[in-house]
Structure 1
Amino acid sequence: MPRLMPDTGPQRVLALSNLVFTVGSGLYLTAGVLYFTEAVGLPAGQVGLGLAVAGLVSLALAVAVGHLADRRGARGVYAATLVAQSLATAAFLSTAAFWPFVLVVSVASAAKAAGTAARSPLIRHYGGDRPQEFRAYLRAVTNVGVSVGALGAGWAVQVGTVTSYRLLVVGLSVSCAAAAVVLLALPPVAPVAAADGPRRAALRDRPYLLLTALDGVMAVQFKVLTVAVPLWLIGATAAPRWLVSGTMLTCTVIVVAFQVRASRGVDSPAAGGRAYRRAGMAFLLSCSLIPLAAGVPGRVAAGVLLGAVVVHTVGELWHAAAGFEVSFGLAPERATGQYLGVFGMGAGLAEAFGPGLLIWLCIDRGRPGWYVMGALFAVTGLAAPPAVRWAERRRTAAGPERVPVTAAS
């Protein structure tokens, strides 16, 4: 990382809140699926279906909460989503059947998606001249937190007891609540949109919606390391179980070291489109390597998986940098929450359909499914540059501020 601390006090508060939150996220991201399959005892197919339902629920909420953050002030709305996620996560501990699982994971996923939308105006307000770069810095901080959490998750998976898995859930719940408390030190941000401003302007922006959809398909890649690789490693390879944590740590170390640098090279929407294309090619290669870990000795399998994770993470750097630039660069400043809420629907699509798709395609169907998944990533990356050009032409024709809103008093 080029610098260890952000430039201003508000940026440091946001970074600290993000760090606290993502330590808990690292616990859950690394072994959350295994908590429901190993500790709760739900079949992997049911877990994938429940996560799909949860993702669909979150799609409906993110845009509305983003618009609310524009109208009411982002700090309070964002803090409320963290509290809601803390309470919903705590309810995981009392989940023992499919429908209660669907309910609590839907609330938690919706709160997480809403929080991402509500945080966006804060990033834009306090991010300086290039909020995209500050967003990249926050992602590097995120991976510091995730790496710390992944260490705890590796211990829990290696121990493999119900108690160890339940401690992961407690850690995520506490981290959400603590992140909300830290956020109280952030100066509030005045509303940027009038109360009667357009609520669905972003939903009428067809090029932006297309980019949202493409980013959503590409965002399935985030589930490769948190859903498909753990299940593949444990069920199809002879690699040691603790490598579930090792793969996550490998990814996070690379992101911490290089995400800000990668984002500096993606400094326009057009550059973002090209970064999407490079990311798709990297994911095609990684998805071609991962299945080769099956049917070989444990040490060889571990080496193949780690090599694939490195390639995958390079693609992740490009994908994240592209998303930061395109989402902020093509969004009107006074509707940041609303537009970023719409763009977050892409991640919501990945949350909804990614786990089930990866389990059905890569786990149930094995090696051919991995190749199909890689090809889907590659095609999506190739479609991004022309979609960005369409969005830029429309933005130039209509003017940079397409949404006629005025600042609230």
Structure 2
Amino acid sequence: MSRLSVALPLPGPQRMLTLITAASAVSSGIYLSTVVLYFTRIVRISPIRVGVGLSIAGAACVVGGVLVGKLSDRHDPLLVLRRSLIVAALATLGFLAVDGFAMYLLVVPAAAAGQACVQLLTTAIITKIGTDRANEFRAYTRSVLNVGIAVGIGMSALAVQFDSALLYRAAIVVGAIFLALAALLVGRLPALRPVDAESPGGRSRWAALRDRPYLALTALDGVLSLQYRVQSVAIPLWIIGATTAPRWSIATLDMLNIAIVVLFQVRASRRVLDVPAAGAALRRCGWAFLIACVLFASARGHGGWIAVLILVAGGAILSVGELWQTAGGFEASNLLAPPQEIGAYLGVFSIGLRMADTVGPALLAWLCVDVGVVGWYITGFVLLAAGLLSPLVVAWAESTRDRYALAPAS
């Protein structure tokens, strides 16, 4: 595991999980870069309706994560993973058959939910396999995920550049093929028995939804996860509408973010080995997000190159905060979940990220663009508050594991 940041793991479950993550991530990159343009420009669905479908897809990801997480505890988790990949692959191919809004509302939520469930299940299976230094391997798969998404976006570049229906459809087929390949690779993983059978007698099937400290941590992670939409929504709109920075700086910040995550995620996770360390990492990320937001706000009013340098500094600090949030969130969510219900708990924890995906774009567009500089400050202090509260909630959750994670439901 010491060289995970530069090479594939040795043959075995970790290598298979790495390849599954990479293949599904390539498909995610193709999806992210083509879905809006394909359905608006090629299928001719209105942008408003496309947005409605994506919001429904976000809701499907929330529900799907909770249900699939629980299913992976009660049944063969590898079978659940394989079926999620097959659903995502078939739904992605279904894009080619869309000829109206009704069909669009069927396939896009299914594809989005399938891919979201794959990411959740991969994380849960890492814990269930019981790999050594699981925290470091989770960080490594996060790096692989970013590389795969970048590759998928690159593979879609020609379709986006030439706005060609044929190239869009070819990219969609390639995305479905990568998902099918990942489904085949699942068969190379060692068998896993359901762990829900080992649950203490009398526990509720939905105990994770009654675990108030864990739900509070989920909510805080959802607030902190707004930083992803800062990167993808607020920064591009701010650069175009409020600064003199050239438009190519948007792509520069995206590539900087990917590079930092790929190169440093494993290193950032090595010291996050227990619950208190996870809380501390979440506190640090709150400070990083505040500083980044202040820097982004200060880019307004400066000349082009000065603005670019300020934006790059803010992007670097935002990315470092992402490293800490990912490391802290991964460890806290896994270590605070009972092993026999890891899928269900991680499914609940994923709600925070999915809610940020759903609410974040509109909220941050309003705060950081319509409100402006003050909105950036508000965003930064909200993220800081979530970071400062995280160690307190993590400690509360750790002190109540006997009550919530181990005791039978009343």
TM-score (ref. length: structure 1): 0.86
Q: Does residue 380 of structure 1 match 2:386?
A: yes
Matched with 1:86 is 89
Partners of 2:108 and 2:303 lie apart in 1 by 37
Partner of 2:151: 148
- Which deviates the most, 166-175 or 61-70? 166-175
Instruction: Show the counterpart of 1:304.
Output: 310
Aligned to 2:79: 76
1:264-295, Cα deviation, whole Å (9 max, x unpaired) = 11111111111111111111222223344556
Q: Bigger shift: 148-157 or 8-17?
A: 148-157
SS at match of 2:272: coil
Q: Does 1:354 pair with 2:360? A: yes
What secondary structure is seen at the aligned counterpart in 2 of 1:278? Answer: helix
Following superposition of structure 1 onto structure 2, how do residues 4-403 of structure 1 map, counting pairs within 5 Å? 4-7=7-10, 9-29=12-32, 49-93=52-96, 101-152=104-155, 159=161, 161-163=163-165, 169-194=172-197, 198-234=204-240, 236-237=242-243, 239-293=245-299, 298-395=304-401, 397-398=402-403, 401-402=406-407
Q: Could you say which residue in structure 2 is the equivalent of 1:407?
A: none
Superposed displacement of residue 112, structure 1? 2.6
Post-superposition shift, 1:245? Answer: 3.7
Contact map agreement 1:116 1:341 (CA 8 A) in 2:
no
Secondary structure, counterpart of 2:196 in structure 1 = coil
CA contact (8 A) 2:28 2:115 kept: no
Contact 2:239/2:247 (<8 A) preserved: yes
Instruction: For residue 105 of structure 1, report the CA deviation from its aligned partner.
Output: 3.1
Secondary structure of the structure 1 residue equivalent to 2:392:
helix
Distance, in Å, in 1 between the alignment partners of 2:178 and 2:72 is 22
Contact 1:207–1:390 (CA under 8 A) maintained in structure 2 = yes
CA separation in 2, counterparts of 1:283 and 1:129?
31
Shift of 1:52: 3.2
Q: Indicate how the Cα distance of structure 1 residues 308 and 280 shifts in structure 2: closer, same or farther if over 3 A, else same.
A: same
Give CA-to-partner distance per residue, 1:302-332, whole Å, 9 cap, x none: 4333322211110000000011110110011
Contact in 1 for aligned 2:198/2:340 (Cα 8 Å): no
Q: Which secondary structure does the structure 2 equivalent of 1:189 belong to?
A: coil
Paired residue secondary structure (1:328): helix
Shift of 1:94: 5.6
Contact between 2:62 and 2:351, CA under 8 Å: does it hold in 1? yes
Q: 1:230 to 1:339 in 2, by over 3 A?
A: same
- 1:95 Cα deviation from its structure 2 partner: 5.4
Asked whether the 8 Å contact 1:55–1:350 carries over to 2, the reply is no
Q: For the structure 1 residues 102 and 76, does the alpha-carbon distance in structure 2 shift closer, same or farther, using more than 3 Å as the test?
A: same
Q: State the Cα distance separating 1:148 from its structure 2 match.
A: 2.4
Q: 1:55: how far off?
A: 1.9
Q: Which moved more, 1:358-367 or 1:162-171?
A: 162-171
Cα deviation, 1:107-153, whole Å, max 9, x if unaligned, reads: 22322333233334411123424422221111121122223234345
Q: Show CA shifts across 1:48-96 (max 9, x none).
A: 5543332223222222211111121111111211222223334445657
C-alpha change, 1:363 and 1:39, in structure 2 (3 Å) is farther
- Counterparts of 2:295 and 2:108, CA distance in 1: 32
Distance 1:252-1:288 versus aligned 2 partners, 3 A rule: same
CA distance in 1: counterparts of 2:65 and 2:99, whole angstroms = 28
Using the size of structure 2 for normalisation, the TM-score is: 0.85
Runs of 5+ in structure 1 lacking a partner?
Answer: 405-409
Q: How many residues align?
A: 402
Report the AA paired with residue 107 of structure 1: A
Q: Is the 8 A contact 1:52 1:356 kept in 2?
A: no
Q: 1:300 to 1:343 in 2, by over 3 A?
A: same
Say if 1:237 and 1:36 are closer, same or farther in 2 by CA, change over 3 A.
Answer: farther
1:33 Cα shift? 5.4
Provide the rounded CA distance (Å) in 2 between the counterparts of 1:298 and 1:101: 41
- Percent identity reads 43
Secondary structure of 1:11 counterpart? helix
Q: Give the 3-state SS of the residue equivalent to 1:194 in structure 2.
A: helix
CA shift in 2, pair 1:57/1:28, >3 Å: closer
Please give the secondary structure, in 2, of the residue aligned with 1:267.
coil
Taking only aligned residues, the RMSD between alpha carbons, in angstroms, comes to 3.1
- The Cα shift of 1:191 comes to 1.3
Assess, with a 3 A threshold, how the Cα gap between structure 1 residues 190 and 215 changes in structure 2: closer, same or farther.
same
